[in-house]
A = this chain, B = another copy of it.
Amino acid sequence: MSTSRGTPPSISQTLPGFLPGDLGWHLGMILRGHQLAVAQSVAPVPGQVRGYQLLSTVVHRDPANQQALGSHLGIDRTVLTYLIDDLVEAQLVERIAAPSDRRARKIIATARGEKLLAELEVKVNAAEQELLTGLSDTQSAQLAGLISTLSANIHNAQPGANPCEAMDLLG
């Protein structure tokens, strides 16, 4: 019932006490810690971390329409509508007609939104650094590289059901 040939050691066997499924447990723990750490920083934006990520994506990645934006954030389009509504009401973003498709709408940041994002990024950056206290610079860089690689792999391995496939449509 075990792996029969000389298969590579599973992640559950690389560390003592690392059980099958613990990968998800640790990830959930870290993600909760992250959200707790940045919650105060992103409080001025509606929708907690989601709202911050939306604003950041709009400014830095310039998605062509709401679908691309929602796909990147892993948010369903029906949920995204309400979240954008809140940010529009806070005068942080606005909807404009997409240049190539009259059905679609492009989300752009207002001057106020860009200014707020710049301020929040300083705080979020500090919160993330504090979260990583205990890891050396080398370890932090290793972690950043590994999770980038892994999320890219997940992106490519599940082209049908992944939450960021539409990022190719940016611009």
Contact = CB atoms under 8 A, between A and B. Distances in A.
Contact of A131 (B7, B125, B154): B154
How many copies of the shown chain assemble into the complex? 2
Q: Is the interface of A mostly helix, strand, loop or mixed?
A: helix
A79 interface: no
A47 to B, nearest CB: 13
A25 interface: yes
Interface residues of A, number: 72
Contacts of A12: 125, 128
Given A11-B128, A12-B128, A146-B146, A27 B31 contact: yes
Given A24-B53, A49-B24, A146-B146, A140 B30 contact: no
Given A19-B60, A23-B128, 10 more contacts: A7-B129, A9-B141, A10-B125, A15-B141, A21-B124, A23-B144, A28-B31, A134-B153, A142-B142, A143-B146
